[in-house]
Chains A and B, each alone.
Chain A
Amino acid sequence: MFALIDCNNFYASCERVFQPQYEGKALVILSNNDGCVIARSNEAKALGIPMGAPAFKFRSEFKKHNIKVFSSNYPLYGDMSHRVMKILEKYTPNIEIYSIDEAFLKFEGFEYFDLMETGLKMRKQVRQWTGIPISVGIAPSKALAKIANKIAKKFSNKTGGVYCIDTDEKRLKALKWTPINDVWGVGIRHSKKLKALGVKSALDFVNLPDSWVKKNLSILGLRLKRDLEGAPTIQLEEFAPKKKSIATTRSFKNTITTFSDLEERITTYTLLGAEKLRKQQSCASAIYVFVRSNPFQKQAEQYRNGFTFKLPYATDSSIILNQYAINGLRNIFKSGIEYKKAGILLLGLTPSTSRQMSLFEKDTTKHSALMETMDNIHRRFGPHRMKLGSQDLKQTWKMRRDYLSNRFTTEINEIIKVK
């Protein structure tokens, strides 16, 4: 049996643990730089605040409905996520941490255990130890566990936050209840195609002939169908797959107009990206640089452009990646534009160990030693301590985080105060 554990409105719940005055109140969390809404409490959802709502457009709405706004506080969410996962790990050795707020657990040889009871215990313990409410969906396969979780959450009054699909009757009822676009792994494109054919629910999907599914949705579609039929087919991925591309992009607090300011930003993003690259032990074989103006500033001249460099050989050197990034920037920079956003993408990632050597390779071992030193310094003393010459040494660019709460669990000077 599989269980999917999902933290309810995770970011909002993290904020509430340390600021219980917002329990039951509408609150939203904004993306990096306070750009748009990335998380909402149930109350904010009920008020009709959409996901991705641009903050500046909804400011009056927030005020009108007395919605509490938070900047995203990743040190806090990351630590709380780690605590939740640590507790879940006590229940089974087989766990797949699926995202910051979701995990699949596999219960093997637990046939004589009452998993419903285990689910309730898990929920109670996570809530007591961390303050985070979770929902638990239990079923014979991962795809069904996802559905069970949705039911547990949606009907929490009845289910107590835990739902188990353990009979065929329950399975069919659950499939009938689930719209096709809510099925795990069915993208917008596929669900449109399926809906056009009259496939509205997960049950309709399961009733399609195997051959049709395989032909139109590939072997992955067929595996999903098996999973929904109750035969576990999609397996637990206990090791997070390496990212196939790495992006570092930001909006600026104030617009930028000069090349040197943009150069500084691009260098910083490239260094951040390169560090992520080395952390997962990959090399990039291409780098994409882009800039754009502020589309909401209608009266200003609009401009957006990007440039991709195919590197002569895959590398993880910040120095080399940055040379190409800046060259790319030179190609797309246009003066007289008020730039609002820029970023880099590292593409064509290959494992560091299997990269091809090239005759004219400049990437020397000196670089890798230097990169390792840089990464170590950043790990020990915090980010941005060591910079390249093209980065601004005096000015530290600040992310816009006007509504940031304390880092209650990772900074001793920001812990809660009690009277």
Chain B
Amino acid sequence: MNKQNKIIFFNPSQESGKGLVLAQEGISAGFPSPADDFKELRISIDKEVVKNETATFYARVEGESMKGAGLDNGDLLVIDRSLEPEDNKIAVCFIDGEFTVKRLKVEKDCLYLMPENRKYEPIKVTEDNELTIWGVVTYVVKKV
């Protein structure tokens, strides 16, 4: 047989694989970033306004009845259903087939839904009304 046809084996190089170690903070002239130890998560509005995720719902304001309380047409309301409705809280209510947002006013044996706009009348809740206090409003998000 012809000797020139001999198979020549090449061994894989053992040299490679000495990769560089990634220095996360970079090496800047021998001094690490002084801010690295103070890294924190960015501010989250969601975290600020949503205290109880499973009980939080949203609603859109339609109309001007709560203008005085800073709730304008088109504003976004954050509602936390886990909070107990109390006197003086702003709540989303369902009364006589309609959702409404008003301030609760609890008097002896009587509940009022108070608008904050002179053009609107307070609603006195009587036995004839079908009322559900749907949830307490905790924040209002508005575009300026």
Contacts and interface: CB of A to CB of B under 8 A. Distances in A.
Given A20-B132, A83-B54, A415 B81 contact: no
Contact of B99 (A86, A87, A412, A416): A416
Contact of B101 (A21, A409, A419): A419
Interface string A15-54: 0000011000000000000000000000000000000000
B54 A418 contact: no
Given A418-B99, A419-B65, A129 B82 contact: yes
B97 interface: yes
Contacts of A129: 52, 54-55, 81-82
B104 to A, nearest CB: 14
Contacts of B82: 125, 128-129
Contacts of B100: 418-419
A131 interface: yes
B67 to A, nearest CB: 12
Contact of B77 (A21, A125, A418): A418
Interface in B90-115: 92, 94, 97-101
A131 B94 CA distance: 13
Contacts of A416: 57-60, 92, 99
Interface in A376-419: 408-409, 412, 415-419
Contacts of A356: none
Interface string B22-52: 0000000000000000000000000000001
A418 B92 contact: yes
A418 B60 CA distance: 6
Contacts of A128: 55, 81-82
- Determine chain B's interface SS by DSSP, over half rule: strand
Contact of B54 (A20, A21, A87): A87
Q: Name the residue among A21, A86, A131, A418 with the largest chain B CB count within 10 angstroms.
A: A418
B80 to A, nearest CB: 9
| Interface SS of A by simple majority | helix
Contacts of A419: 62-63, 65, 98-101
Given A21-B97, A129-B81, A131-B81, A417 B57 contact: no
Contact of A417 (B54, B59, B65): B59
A86 B60 contact: no
A130 B54 contact: yes
Contacts of B58: 412, 415-416
A237 to B, nearest CB: 24
A415 B101 CA distance: 14
Interface of B: 52-55, 57-63, 65, 76-77, 81-82, 92, 94, 97-101, 132, 134
Interface of A: 20-21, 83, 86-87, 125, 128-131, 408-409, 412, 415-419
30 contacts: A86-B54, A87-B54, A128-B55, A128-B81, A128-B82, A129-B52, A129-B55, A130-B54, A130-B55, A130-B81, A131-B81, A408-B57, A409-B57, A412-B58, A415-B57, A415-B58, A415-B59, A415-B60, A416-B58, A416-B59, A416-B92, A417-B60, A417-B99, A418-B59, A418-B61, A418-B62, A418-B92, A418-B101, A419-B62, A419-B101
Top 6 A-B pairs, shortest CB-CB distance? A129-B55, A418-B99, A418-B101, A83-B54, A20-B94, A86-B54
